[in-house]
Structure 1
Amino acid sequence: MLIGFAVGASLGLLLGGLVGLSGAARAALAPTVQAIRAVPSLAWVPLLLLWLGIGETPKITLVAIGAFFPVYTTVSAGLDHVDPRLRELGRAYGRRGPALLAQVLIPAAAPAVLSGLRLGLAQGWLFLVAAELIASSMGLGFLLIDSENTGRTDILLLAIVLLALLGKASDALLGVAERQVVRRWS
């Protein structure tokens, strides 16, 4: 989960930043990315299994896909919707290029970026469970299906509770980071 989220979120931050900052990149990349985003999550599973086989690699890839799109969307929209007067003010104070990005644009877009990271994390958990439900011999998603097939409601409920606890714990950690960033740039 952590590897897939890190890969997907990093790619989402990079590509979303590029699209959010550059009109040319937006024109070239946004339609393709949005078309790929429309593919339902479960449709990726057979393709990834065919290409990558059964194991951890397709699960990591599916989590990365799940985390990528919310992060990409919120980063590109957050940077694109920074108040033009704020950009102008930054330029009036001599901020250009990387300085404008680091001191004006990123702090202004930080709430949207952090919301996107939290959405990407939740989506990553969803995609992980989907991958484990369909093609896995271990993991909590596999445990859900296995306990359903064997009639073990106790194990099924335990797997659901564990997923809820893991999801909430990871979201809480990201929430702490979010509060630190917002406090720093407020």
Structure 2
Amino acid sequence: MSTLNLPLPHAGAMHEPLPTPASRAIHTSTPAIELQRIVAASTRKRGVPRVVRRATGPVLLVSLWYALSAGGWLPAEVLAGPQTVLSSAAALWASGELPDAIAISLQRALLGLAIGGSIGIVLAVLSGLTRLGEDLIDSVLQMLRTVPNVALIPLLIIWFGIGEEPKVALIALATAFPLYLNVYAGIRNVDQALVEAGRTLNLSPAAMVLHVVLPGALPNALVGLRYALAVSWLALVFGEQINATAGVGYLMSTAREMFQTDVIVVCLVVYALLGLVVDFVVRALERLLLAWRPAFSGA
């Protein structure tokens, strides 16, 4: 019987797979991968600037107002035109009446907000931190906040007279409840995991409140501040109707008696601009104090 003497393969070649045509193509035709820089969607340019988009609505509204006034569809007895309102505002500013009225109204609003806001925050902290405080405070404030502030004007006049005190008291009552509700909700909605972490670190009760509870309630507190500022202007309008002798509300009351719709519109615009300025200040505080807290800014 004859045997075939075939050459044995090398020992190291037993573990090396033979190259196939497909593998040769892969190694010879693989293109170089190009790296691309990833840009965050929030930093991409969106065409029209946001300032222009935000100003579009007011510009269109004023344009419509001017068109209706110039075309005769909106008589001056009903509502003065934009050009008349601007001339009246310039005259009031030149005479000094408007700056003095703005300063007095702003002082009343800020003083009432400081008093009412302080009371609301203190009561919210006492009610939010302890169950005893909640049982003693929360039910009373929930009843009082349903009472219309305008209905309290006769009592405020009897208690404080017809000077500055009832006006400031009315603003304080109006602003205390929004801050109380939001600060109380912020304290009760603090993440329980953060509280447990503070207890694990053996924080004292004061340190727990200062470093865990109050920072966690800060977003709600700022929301309450924005709402309280808006309410303060509404209360200011009613408060300045109580035998006022100065302020934006006094100018409005005088213009109403003389059927000066242009001055009334000037006062309304002043109220709106003051509210917009203080809201801008609070939004700036939010960006400063809540820089650590990422939030959705809109799509």
Q: Give the TM-score category using the shorter length.
A: over 0.9
Q: Quick check: which one's helix share is greater?
A: 1
The letter for the 1-side match of 2:275 is G
The letter for the 2-side match of 1:66 is A
Match of 1:12 in 2: 120
The letter for the 1-side match of 2:184 is S
Pairwise CA RMSD: 1.4
Identity score, percent: 37
For residue 249 of structure 2, the aligned residue among 141, 144, 169 is 141
Greater mean deviation of Cα atoms: 137-146 or 76-85: 137-146
Q: 1:32-181, aligned counterparts within 5 Å?
A: 32-181=140-289
The letter for the 1-side match of 2:192 is P
The letter for the 1-side match of 2:264 is L
The letter for the 1-side match of 2:252 is L
Distance between the aligned counterparts of 1:96 and 1:86, measured in 2? 14
Q: Does 1:27 align with 2:135?
A: yes
- 1:184 deviates by 5.2
Give CA deviations for 1:102-157 in whole Å, capped at 9, x if unaligned: 11111111100111111111111111111113442322222222212211011000
Runs of 5+ consecutive residues of structure 2 not aligned to the other structure: 1-108, 295-299
Distance between the aligned counterparts of 1:143 and 1:42, measured in 2? 20
Give CA deviations for 1:79-119 in whole Å, capped at 9, x if unaligned: 01212222112212222311111111111111001111111
Aligned partners of 2:182 and 2:224 also within 8 Å:
yes
Runs of 5+ consecutive residues of structure 1 not aligned to the other structure: none
Give CA deviations for 1:57-79 in whole Å, capped at 9, x if unaligned: 11111111111000011111110
Greater mean deviation of Cα atoms: 169-178 or 28-37: 169-178
The letter for the 2-side match of 1:35 is M
Distance between the aligned counterparts of 2:176 and 2:243, measured in 1? 21
The aligned length equals 186
Distance between the aligned counterparts of 1:185 and 1:52, measured in 2? 44
The letter for the 2-side match of 1:102 is L
What TM-score do you get using the length of structure 2 for normalisation? 0.60
Which of structures 1 and 2 has the bigger CA Rg? 2
The letter for the 2-side match of 1:169 is V
Greater mean deviation of Cα atoms: 81-90 or 21-30: 81-90
- 1:25 deviates by 0.5
Distance between the aligned counterparts of 2:169 and 2:197, measured in 1? 41
